[in-house]
Structure formats: C-alpha cells, structure tokens
Amino acid sequence: MDLSQLCLPVVLSAIGVFIASFLAWMVLPHHKQDVRVLPDEKAWIARLKELKVSPGIYMWPNCQSPEDMKSEEYKARFNAGPWGSLNILPGKPNFARNLILVFLFYVVVSVFVAYITGHARAAGAAFAAVFQVAGSAAILGYCAGQIPSAIFFGKPGRFVLTDLIDGVAYGLITGLIFACLWPAGSGLPSLNVPSPG
C-alpha cells in the first residue's frame, strides 16, 4: 500500500500520542516518583560549577583507558562504590524545542508503523487485523529502544516500568487510530470501526 494513503492516521496517531504523553507526565500520578531531588541540591550545583564540568554523560567510578581499568586503584574504587551516572545538559532546557522534537519523533514512529502495516495488510483489511499489526509495531517502537540504555546506564526499575506502561498505551492508541482510519478497498480513507455485536 502507498504511504500517501496513510497520511491521516500517521498525523492523527502522532497527535494522539502527544496528548497521551502530556497526560502521562503532567496529569497522571505514575511518573511523580521517577525523578528525585538531590539532597542539598545547592551544594551539588555549586560544586559542579566550581569543577567546571562540561556537558556530557558521566559514569563513576570510571577511568581513561583499558589499562587504567586493570589498576588496583581503579579496582578498589569500583568495588567500594558508590556507582552512578550524571547527565549535564549543554544549556537551560528549551521546552518548546523539546516538545517539537518529541512530536516529530512520534511522527517518525507513525511513519514506520504505516510502512510496516501497509506491507502487512491490504486496503480494506479488517479492524482487528490492522490493529494487531499497527499496535504491535507501535509498541515495539515506543518500548524496545530504551531497554539497552536503561540496562547500561542503570535507570531505576520503576522509571523503566512507567516508561514501558506509557509505551504500551501509546502503541495501543496508535493501533486504534490506524485501525479506525484504515483505507477501504477503494483506496479512500474510511472509518473502519467494527459494528457492535
């Protein structure tokens, strides 16, 4: 199926997920405990300024080379802990820019969902058949990519779980919109909502 036939579900599913994401982070309670406040935040900030830590992702304990990793001094630091990571941003967060970029990400996921579903299901396919493929592809797009970085950068299990819950919800929303707006056999979009009973 031609991707141009799926522009409407692509755009509407991205909008639907954007709204759901806003509700998940700003209204619903499940993310409230995901990000914590540092003890004595002012002292941490003052120390980071004093050290002139440049933007980037830092992990500790860490070392400069594989040879340093073999040293007894590094092994002692590694075994003693604490272990952690820190992300220093390059500047003040620009929420308008971030919202635009997140929305564009949702559009990209929806384009891939359209591509996959368009190859797996023909025009006029049944609601459930479209929902199955589109929903599965979207859940994969919203959930799977974060797992490796969560493992290696030690994201707390609760944070990962709430993100996965959101990803499944976003995938189901996307699948629903694609299934409802799947083109009829004539190639024109039509509401493909199943009749009750």
pLDDT of residue 189: 47
pLDDT of residue 193: 57
Strand partners, 9: none
Which residues, other chains included, contact 170 with Cβ-Cβ below 8 Å and sequence gap of 6+? 17, 20, 21, 106, 138, 139, 142
pLDDT of residue 113: 98
pLDDT tens string for the chain (197 positions)? 788 889 999 999 999 999 999 998 888 888 888 778 889 999 989 998 999 989 998 888 998 888 888 899 999 999 998 888 888 888 888 999 999 999 999 999 999 999 999 999 999 999 999 999 999 999 999 999 888 888 888 888 888 899 999 999 999 999 999 999 999 865 444 556 565 55
d(CA 7, CA 100): 19
d(CA 106, CA 61): 36
Residue with tokens 């799947």: 182
The two structure tokens encoding residue 145: 């990519």
pLDDT of residue 66: 86
pLDDT of residue 139: 97
Task: Give the pTM.
Answer: 0.80
d(CA 142, CA 136): 10
pLDDT of residue 151: 86
pLDDT of residue 187: 45
d(CA 23, CA 145): 22
SS (H, E, C) 123-147: CCCCHHHHHHHHHHHHHHHHHCCHH
- By three-state DSSP, how is residue 58 classified? strand
- Tens-digit pLDDT profile for residues 32-75: 887 788 899 999 899 989 999 899 988 889 988 888 888 999 99
